[in-house]
Chain A
Amino acid sequence: MTVPIVAARNITYAVGDKILVEDVTVTLERGRLTAVIGPNGAGKSTLLRILAGELTSNSGNVRYLDQDVRSLSAWQLALRRAVMAQTTRLAFAFSVKEIAALGIDSLGRRASREARQALVATALEKADVGHLADRIYQTLSGGEQQRVQFARALTQLWAGQSIKRDQALLLDEPIAHLDMRHQLALMDAARAQARDGVAVLVTIHDLNLAAAYADHLLVLNRGRLVAQGRPHEVLTSRLLAEVFGVDAGIGEAPPGAVFVLPHRHAERRAPGSGTNPKPDH
């Protein structure tokens, strides 16, 4: 196997005496879409921010190919990975295309004005916000804003591609506020990037979409990596009960494509007993 684009080895991250990520070893491979699932507070975002080089782990290390993340400057990292963060609060009234263009302003100075504009336009189109290009960002809905941020991440990724070949795309809950069509469209776009050779990491709460799109699934619980592998290997009723505390069945149709069905929860609630279903271990 070739050297992974991003490799984290035994990383632990703590704030004070609260351990947020504990002894996690993961790799982001070229051309692979990796999804991270786990309950709220499991450390998914923290892990992503460590991989992005924003947070420095207390122990262990993160490498981009053969270089330690700490030895890379901000702009060197920006060439190697694009990040879409969970919430972005804007200070001033930038337009949608100005936000997307931020991705190339920092990196693509050598490109012509026309080439840069074309790249921004393509990214906006990919995120289905081309028709909003001249709107003020703050006037958009939460889901639209999220798509604009995705367009910005794509712009940065593509701007860096002319300089660095091996890149990662890190998306922190990119579909949290999206409607179903745009959830699928964004995951399609993320997978298309993976097919182009980018190492993609997505944190996600929708287990069915995670199962449908991920080549590789990571399960975090209380800062620890409790399972990883192909979705149909990882997703089991037992895991859902242990990690998420839910009682849900796993279906498989077509073969190899798994889905999660929380029907037993729904059935138990139906008589109106009002008691919370407890997972049976």
Chain B
Amino acid sequence: MTRVSVPASRAWRIRARPERRLRAILLFPVLAVALAALTILAIGRGPLVIAPVDIIDILVRAAQGVDQSSSREALVVLDIRLPRILLAVVIGANLAVSGALMQSLFRNPLADPGIIGVSAGAALAAAGVIVVGDKYLPGALPFASLPIAAFAGALIAVLILYLIATRGRETSVATLLLAGIALGALAGAIIGFLTFVADDRQLRDLTFWSLGSLGGATWDKVAALTPPFVLLLVALPFLGRGLNALSIGEAEAFYLGISVQRLKAAIVALAALATGASVAAAGIIGFVGIVVPQLLRLVLGPDHRFLLPACALLGPALLLAADTCARTLAAPAELPIGILTAGIGAPFFLWLLLRRPAGFDT
């Protein structure tokens, strides 16, 4: 058949400029090593500085099941810093990957889990618990009520949006986006009202939570975040091709053999779960979901088969670095991490927008 008889030179030319693929192959080990190094570094930083060698020692012995409860260093590492660092890693990956998922669902690189109202729903539910719950049930609220409320709020928001935007079997992304903005504005108004009626102590809670923090990390929180995180990681290899096809349009993705409705439902469910779980554990941490995928797209190109795993490595590294700064820069006080991610992320993002080459109109 004529189509198979390709001149050798043609096949060679296709492979002649493999920058993006090469970059991907180089980038993964670099990101992985950077994340590992950052993890060790982050464990060592704090009021009690611990040397990297000792940290590795403690971790190895802990992995072997050796009892280290007599060592102060070991207690600090295993009970205080490690859960917080794992939380940063998991949440960083969740936010970056769900950002990339939302962007391909909306076919808009500026989309973010926040935009379809996941964060707004979570924030409203949590603010409601802080202000209203505290007023009428003083002292009766268990500590866990806040994360559960945030998680439920996120899921309810997505559900409402999906009901609004889905007609028959078709989901209109434009309607979803507009409804998300409207819902976000409504939630913002109600949160504003709650802020207005809140007393000083509630206001402090509200502020700290809405700027996000990884403080108060426990092994329980890490355990609660693990199932959605594992689910997300397992799903990643199956999404790449479909998301690539979706990038050229929903109809085109269907022509290419993708079950578009099923893919979109999977994206929404995974992103809501990952974001909801993260917001529940650490509040709203902005900009990771936009900056990480966008930065990686500039380096790797938009191929989701490389982009998604890279997000799962760079997101954690970025959030871990931000959190380490948050807890050491103003020690013993702690900065809300949202200030750092937005403070660094937003100008960086603007810089990216300004320097992008012609043709990257996305």
Contacts and interface: CB of A to CB of B under 8 A. Distances in A.
Interface of A: 49, 52-54, 73-79, 82-83, 85, 88-95, 97-99, 102-103, 105-107, 114-115, 117-122, 125, 130, 133-134, 136, 138-139, 156, 158, 161
A52 B248 contact: no
* Most B-side CB within 10 Å, residue of A83, A88, A92: A92
Interface stretch (B58-66, B280-288, B297-305): B297-305
B14 A121 contact: yes
Given A92-B297, A105-B241, A85 B11 contact: no
Contacts of A54: 251, 254-255
B257 interface: yes
Contacts of A138: 359-362
Contact of B256 (A103, A119, A134, A158): A103
Interface stretch (B72-80, B83-91, B104-112, B152-160): B104-112
Given A54-B254, A99-B248, 15 more contacts: A79-B257, A90-B247, A91-B103, A92-B247, A93-B302, A94-B301, A102-B244, A102-B245, A102-B248, A106-B245, A118-B10, A119-B4, A122-B6, A122-B10, A133-B14
B201 interface: no
B4 A118 contact: yes
A144 B161 CA distance: 38
Please report whether the interface of chain A is mostly helix, strand, loop or mixed according to DSSP. helix
A239 to B, nearest CB: 31
A49 B255 CA distance: 10
Contacts of B297: 92-93
A235 B50 CA distance: 87
A91 B104 contact: yes
B4 to A, nearest CB: 7
B256 A106 contact: yes
6 contacts: A75-B259, A83-B252, A91-B302, A94-B244, A106-B258, A118-B14
Contacts of B107: 89, 91
A88 B241 contact: no
Contacts of B355: none
Contacts of A75: 257-259
